[in-house]
Amino acid sequence: GTGSVTATPEANDVEYLAPVTIGGQTLNLDFDSGSSDLWVFNSQLSSKATKGHTIYDPTQSNSFALMQGASFEISYGDGSGAAGNVGTDTVDIGGATVTAQAVELATAVSQSFVEDPNNNGLLGLAFSTINTVQPQQQKTFFDNVMSSLAEPLFTADLRAQAVGAYEFGQVDTSKFTGAMTWVPVNNTQGFWQFTSESFAVDGGAAQTSTAGAQAIADTGTTLMLADSAVATAYYAQVDGAVDDQTQGGFTFPCAATLPDLQIDVGGTMATVKGTDINFAQVDDATCFGGLQATTAGLQIYGDIFFKSNFVAFNGGNNSLGFAQH
């Protein structure tokens, strides 16, 4: 089978939300290829925490079952997190269905999630080896549904300020132009991880950033966080760009024309359009870059990357496909 749902951006394309039906109740969740827990806002949380949110109420589902003694606790790179208990229920995403999917019921969520009323939880799409449920680790929706899919993959078609799609079980070739390039994924850390060690600015000469550098494809991260060698060389080509730590990173005059970035994905260059690298206005003439530097070991290619590239995640052979869209 297959499944297809809309992916709707919040303001400034900070996050993309997609409808998921759990025990007959539909919530918009943040599909996150950078984590592996499906957790939701639910009736156990205080009314203060759930104000403005759509919640899942397990008592209203005749297919819910509590997973006795199970709990979860997850932390994210931005310092946010959630924790709670666990049950199973029927989860449907655009027609792709899992009957006994682990659904994690938050009893505590960090303030950043409380303050984002469009986000009613996360649907993890990384590898099940980093799912946080204890004492028995649980599988992701994708892991559970894979064997029933026409093809063992899902795709992300995220668009700048426009509605895109997440699809399970098929690659819709009408959604991209040119050929799709497939590259190997190293899932030893539980992520859709690949080698990314070179780059070029505006079609210029390729430069090595850091030999052997790795990156992950993370639909749940807003920006594109690359080695500082990449970000520094990129913004050196933008008149007026500065690394302004008071704003939290590289900014530039909004009137600037941003060059395209070519970035190595598993040995093949992918292009991130300059127009997609203008993230948001921070004051009347200054804009904040969608490409920023990270000093962490892993580079994180988030929504800025996805706005220029249609991406397929193949769980059958652990590969990643990308194509311009």
Q: Which residues contact 127 (CB under 8 A, 6 or more apart)?
A: 36, 140, 143, 187, 190, 191
d(CA 322, CA 316): 16
Residue corresponding to tokens 């006795």: 68
Residue 84, amino acid: G
Q: Give whichever of 102 and 216 is closer to ligand 3AI, judged by the CB atom.
A: 216
Q: Give whichever of 125 and 200 is closer to ligand 3AI, judged by the CB atom.
A: 125
- Considering 30, 218, 227, 264, which one is annotated as catalytic? 218
- Considering 13, 30, 32, 227, which one is annotated as catalytic? 32
Q: Give whichever of 60 and 112 is closer to ligand 3AI, judged by the CB atom.
A: 112
Q: Which two tokens stand for residue 250?
A: 């590289």
Q: What is the DSSP letter of 284?
A: T
Q: Are 194 and 183 in contact (CB under 8 A)?
A: yes
Shortest distance, position 19 Cβ to ligand 3AI, whole Å:
17
Name the residue with the smallest CB distance to ligand 3AI: 34
Can you say whether the dihedral through the CA atoms of 75, 277, 203, 158 is positive or negative? positive
Q: Give whichever of 21 and 110 is closer to ligand 3AI, judged by the CB atom.
A: 110
Can you say whether the dihedral through the CA atoms of 307, 172, 324, 213 is positive or negative? positive
Shortest distance, position 301 Cβ to ligand 3AI, whole Å:
11
Q: Which residues contact 47 (CB under 8 A, 6 or more apart)?
A: none
Q: What is the DSSP letter of 277?
A: G
Tell me whether residue 37 is one of the annotated catalytic residues: no
Which has the closest alpha carbon to 89: 4, 19, 17, 24? 24
Counts for the chain of helices (H) and strands (E), in that order = 5, 26
Shortest distance, position 159 Cβ to ligand 3AI, whole Å:
18
Q: Give whichever of 30 and 92 is closer to ligand 3AI, judged by the CB atom.
A: 30
Q: Give whichever of 127 and 168 is closer to ligand 3AI, judged by the CB atom.
A: 127
Tell me whether residue 32 is one of the annotated catalytic residues: yes
Beta strand 309-314 pairing with 319-324: antiparallel
Say how many CA atoms lie within 13 Å of 281 toward its Cβ: 5
Shortest distance, position 302 Cβ to ligand 3AI, whole Å:
7
Shortest distance, position 105 Cβ to ligand 3AI, whole Å:
18
Q: Count CB neighbours of 216 within 10 A.
A: 24
In the complex, the residues that contact ligand 3AI under the rule CB under 6 A are 30, 32, 34-35, 75-78, 80, 122, 130, 216, 218, 220-221, 298, 300
Q: Give whichever of 78 and 115 is closer to ligand 3AI, judged by the CB atom.
A: 78
Residue corresponding to tokens 């899919």: 149
The Cα angle at residue 103 between residues 102 and 108, in degrees rounded to 5: 135
Shortest distance, position 35 Cβ to ligand 3AI, whole Å:
4
Shortest distance, position 298 Cβ to ligand 3AI, whole Å:
5
Q: Which residues are catalytic?
A: 32, 218
